Every structure is written in structure tokens, then in C-alpha cells.
Amino acid sequence: MTQDGKDELVRLNVAARELGVTSQTMKKYCRCQLLRCEQLPSGQWRVRRSSLDDLKKSEGIPDSTDNLKSPCVYFVRCQQFVKIGWAGHLRDRLRGVQTFMPWTLEVLYEHRCESEAEAKAVEVKAHADLSDHRFRGEWFYDTPAIQAYIANLKP
């Protein structure tokens, strides 16, 4: 809030840096109303500070960008399902997935990899190993077998 009690407007690229996401991702957040935004007549976007602060505090999405910019395979629970995927920038990916989910995502495990190629290979192997538990695409039923698989990946 500004001194006069009004909700401050933040430039889109500044808000993107604060969240650790790209400007393109921020525009998606504005368009799907994940954030309260205004598009100026010039076409530029501004984000309401209170909305940005609320999103930073949201549950299920990591607040820190530490160690989230390296490739990884992730296991994320949503209700009775687990999504197994890979990401080069986990925080960005989770925020993108959360946008389309009515329930909060819960990160079960992040398996760090040395390269994108390694992350893709680990993801493909996990999908193959757990194919009997597949619901659809990258989504699997949350079964004891999934939990055991995750436990075996942990160091």
C-alpha cells in the first residue's frame, strides 16, 4: 500500500523478478486472473502489490528460488493423483500447473539432475516403471507403489 492507502501498481517485469518467473508467465497469471492486474492503454501490464504479496505467500508453491533453477524430476500430489514431470525451473513450472488446478499442489519430491537430458531420462523411466498406476498422461494414482518409488529415489 502507498502512503495514501491505495494499492501500489508494480511493473510486470519487476513483479516477475520478485516471483522468479518470466514476464510471459506473469502475463498468463494476469490473463487468467491469478493476480489482480491492469493493462494500460499503452498495452503494458501493472500488477497490484497486494495481489503479488498474496501469491508469494500461497501454499504449495516454494517461496525461495534457491536451488530451483536446475533441472529436476518432480512428484506433485493433487488430491488422489500424483503428477510426475520434469522442469528446468521448478518454481515456474509449479506456478503454471497450479494456475489450472482448483486444489493446492503438494510437492512430494524433487529429484535434482545434472542436465535436462538426465531429467528427461529419469522422468521417462519413472513413467515406464509406474505405468500400471497411470491415470492419464503424466498423472498417476497416488498408491503405495508411487510412494515407495519416491522413497527409493531419495538419497
What percentage of the chain reaches a pLDDT higher than 90? 32
Q: Can you spell out the DSSP letters for 52-73?
A: HHHHHH-TTS-S--TT-SS-EE
Question: What is residue 132's predicted lDDT score, i.e. its pLDDT?
Answer: 97
Q: By the 8 A CB rule, do 111 and 123 touch?
A: no
Whole-angstrom Cα distance, residue 14 to residue 5? Answer: 21
Helix, strand, coil: what percent of the chain each, to 5?
Answer: 40, 25, 35
Give tens-digit pLDDT for 94-115: 888 888 888 888 889 998 888 8
**The pTM of the whole model exceeds 0.75:** no
Check if the beta carbon of residue 81 is closer than 8 Å to that of residue 141.
yes
How does residue 66 score in pLDDT terms, banded at 50, 70 and 90? Answer: very low
Average pLDDT over residues 76-84: 94
Residue 117 burial (CB count, 10 A): 10
